[in-house]
Amino acid sequence: MYKSNRLYLIYRLSRLLLYSKHSSNQQAMGFTLLELVITIVIIGVLTAIAIPTYVATVDKFHYGKAKVQMSCLQRELIAYRMEQGYFPGDVGRDRVPVGIECFFRQNSNQVPFDSKYDYENWDDTRQGERGCVIQITFLGKNGERDNAANSYRYQESGFYEFSNNDDLVLSLGFYEEPVCVP
C-alpha cells in the first residue's frame, strides 16, 4: 500500500508539473519557442567559455611534450660532447645533427603540432672569450621562427618562452671554443 501511494504521489506531481500551463482539456504538445531559445543561448554561452579553455589546455599539453623531447635531445647532446669532446656542427631546421638519435622530425607524428626543431651551434663571445652557444628551438604551432627576437643567443642554460609568439628555446649555454666544432 505504501509503495502504491508513493507511486501515485509521484504520478500526480509529474502531471501537475507537466500540465500546469494547460487547461484540463488540453494536452501538452512540447516546449515553447521561448524555452528552446533560452536553452540554446545557455548552451552557446557555455560552449563559448569551454572551447577556448579546452584549446589552451591542449596547447599547454603539446608544449609540455615539446619540452620533454627537447630535454631528451639535450641529454643526448651532452653525452655526445662527453664522448667526442665537442658538439655536432650546426644544421638546418628539421635536420638531425650527426650522431644524435633523439631528434624528432616533422611529419613523424611525434612532434607537437607537426612543427619543427632547430639545433643551433652558434659562434659567440663572452667577456672576450671565443666560444659557442648551443640551443634547441621548437618552432611552435606555425612551424616558423616568428621573429628575430628569438634568434638571440642565450648564454645561460634553460628554457626560454616568448609571450608574443609560440616559439620555445632550450639553451645548453655558452661553451668555450674547444668543444664547439671539431
62 in any annotated domain:
yes
Sole residue written with cell 671565443: 130
Which domain does 68 fall in, by range?
A: 44-179
With beta carbons less than 8 A apart as the criterion, state whether 104 and 69 touch: yes
- pLDDT score recorded for residue 154: 77
130 within some domain: yes
Contact 147, 136 (CB under 8 A): no
Predicted pLDDT at 103: 87
Q: What is the pLDDT of residue 77?
A: 93
Sign of the Cα pseudo-torsion (115, 102, 82, 157, in order): positive
- Split into its structural domains, the chain has a count of 1
Residue 14 lies in a domain: no
| Phi–psi pair at 125, nearest 5 degrees | -130, 145
Residue 22 lies in a domain: no
- pLDDT of amino acid 16: 59
**What pLDDT, on a 0 to 100 scale, did the predictor assign at position 126?**
78
In a domain, 55, yes or no: yes
- Is residue 28, in this structure, part of any structural domain at all? no
- Domain assignment present for residue 68? The answer is yes
β-bridge partners, 159: 170
pLDDT at 176: 87
Going from the first residue of the chain to its last (182 residues), give the mean pLDDT of each consecutive group of 10, the final group possibly shorter: 59 61 58 89 93 91 92 93 92 87 83 89 83 89 69 79 78 87 71
Q: Give domain status of residue 114, yes or no.
A: yes
Cα distances from 81 to residues 34, 46, 53, 88, 169, in angstroms, run: 71, 53, 42, 8, 20
What's this model's pTM, rounded to 2 decimal places?
0.71
